[in-house]
Structure 1
Amino acid sequence: MHFVVSGEGQAVVLIHGLFGDLDNLKSLSHELEKTHQVIRVDVPNHGLSEHWQQMDYPLLAEAVIQLLDTLDLSSAHLVGHSMGGKIAMATALLYPERIDSVVAADIAPAAYPPRHQTVFAGLNSLDLVNTTRNSALVHLTEAGIDNATAQFLLKSLRRAEVGFGWKMNLEGLIASYDKLIAWDIDAAPYTKAAFIIRGGDSDYVGAEHKQGILAQFPKVQAKTINGAGHWLHAQKPEIFNRLVAEFVGEQGR
């Protein structure tokens, strides 16, 4: 995985969500790097990382461990948003001896119904050869994607020899989507510290997920950020960053 390292101290790996890249949690990185070594990653099929035709959580967890090995790190804290949170949780469950703690932002260790058909349709139908950034934004919003999400998606648009292309591997993401919304990690519970932060206006983590969370993460703590939705780290960055920094800091004492 492509990565960027900053700061010194105990290692913390930041993992973005679907369609994102390592800049998504940059604000959190600035907070954590005051006391920790922070590694921001591009998940495979995103940013500057390798393109995979198939990706699932065991493979992604293995990629996280390979990154730790590359950096000669015996262990690290993991912080992930959405899909990145599922990657963090899967890694903690499958390689507990390598993970000091896990933070999952607005996601549960659970299977979810498909939510991104409109996004995939809008991205697939964009004429990359004959577009501009402005016309791409218009296209995505006319395809039924809200403006904020469309602006976020266009961060992955880059100039090509002719027209534009996507930094993300759209074909690979579509092929892997069923596995990314699923959850079939069957492992012993992760008995170290875990933290789930949910957005009060989001439906990604609800009462129906409580039993499944406790079954796999019995020492979990939970907080709700009111007035924030699924993009809680961008909507309420000061509160989100403080909660994560306090939690990670406590695990190092």
Structure 2
Amino acid sequence: MIFSREYGHGEPLIIIHGLFGMSDNWNSLAKQFAKEFNVHVVDLRNHGRSFHSDDFSYNYMSEDVENYIDVKGLHKPIIIGHSLGGKVAMNLCTRFAELINKLIVVDIAPRYYSVDFHKNILDILSNISIREISSRNEIDEKLSNDIKEFSIRQFLMKNLYRNTDKEFCWRFNIHVLRNKLDNISNAEFIENEIHTPTLFIRGKKSNYINKADEELIQKFFINSKIVTVENAGHWVHAEQPNLFFESVMKFIN
């Protein structure tokens, strides 16, 4: 079963992180939601503390979440998914709609996205022999040659840990992510109308959900609305946590 962090009591709410992310990224917001909900922040396969597998696709990931819901005995949870996690949540909805109460999709639309940027990141990470490096600063220095944005390096480096031999390792499965990236570029799994009440949250400064996407969303998600959060990019929940929290709570209630 996939790894999770659990907080609070009440109606179940599952949070699914994005590519290169993990449950840790959502700690603060999870604790905020936990004042009213039983919050489960999961690590997708090949991410965080969950298992590594050569099988990597939206179907596999949504089945992992469906299995988690079953094993934990959760009754009709609310699902929040960001980016990759948003597509996993949409896939879950197309296949197991009866299990889900409401859906919140964060800054992603049900369509194809280029994975060139992510491939480039994985190539950069693959070319660094981190096991031979003794400090995080040294890793950051090497990454900074190719990744100029400190915030992206910081986000990636949250995945560093030391193994039993005290060597640095990445929590995400670089090899599989690199080879299976094309499996997660599309959203071909969405073929029919989805009637689950759905909120799409986008960052005003992000280009992940554009005008054409609004029509696509309304075509497939019959019972949906789109909210735009000011002064936020793709990581809406991290950049404007309070506005994000308010938007979600307003929708749920």
Query: Same fold, TM exceeding 0.5?
Result: yes
Deviations 1:77-106 (A, max 9, x none): 100111011111111111110011110111
Q: Does 1:150 align with 2:116?
A: no
Amino acid of the structure 2 residue aligned with 1:210: E
8 A Cα contact 1:2 1:48, kept in partner: yes
Determine whether 1:219 maps to 2:223. Answer: yes
Question: How much does 1:54 deviate?
Answer: 2.4
Alignment-derived partner of residue 125 in structure 1: 127
Check whether the contact 2:119–2:178 (CA below 8 A) recurs between aligned residues. Answer: no
TM-aligned CA deviation for residue 46 of structure 1: 0.6
Matches of residues 233-248 of structure 1 in structure 2 within 5 Å? 233-248=237-252
| CA apart distance, 1:118 | 2.5
Q: What is the percent sequence identity of the aligned residues?
A: 30
How far did residue 128 of structure 1 move?
1.2
Q: Number of aligned pairs?
A: 249
Aligned residue in 2 for 1:135: 138
Q: Distance in 1 between matches of 2:59 and 2:120?
A: 27
> Matched residues in 1 for 2:148 and 2:122: separation?
10
Q: Is 1:100 aligned to residue 98 of structure 2?
A: no
Cross-structure match for 1:232: 236
Contact 1:14–1:79 (CA under 8 A) maintained in structure 2: yes
Unaligned runs of 5+ in 1: none
Find out whether 1:53 has 2:57 as its counterpart.
no
User: Equivalent residue for 1:40?
Assistant: 41
**Aligned Cα root-mean-square deviation (Å):** 1.3
CA deviation digits over 1:143-162, x for unaligned, max 9?
13421010110111111215
**How many angstroms does 1:29 deviate by?**
1.0
TM-score by length of 2: 0.94
Q: Distance in 1 between matches of 2:196 and 2:169?
A: 42
Note if contact 2:22-2:43 (Cα within 8 Å) is conserved in structure 1.
yes
1:110–1:145 distance in 2 versus 1, CA, 3 Å: farther
- Where does residue 159 of structure 1 map in the other structure? 162
How far has the Cα of 1:7 moved from its partner? 1.1
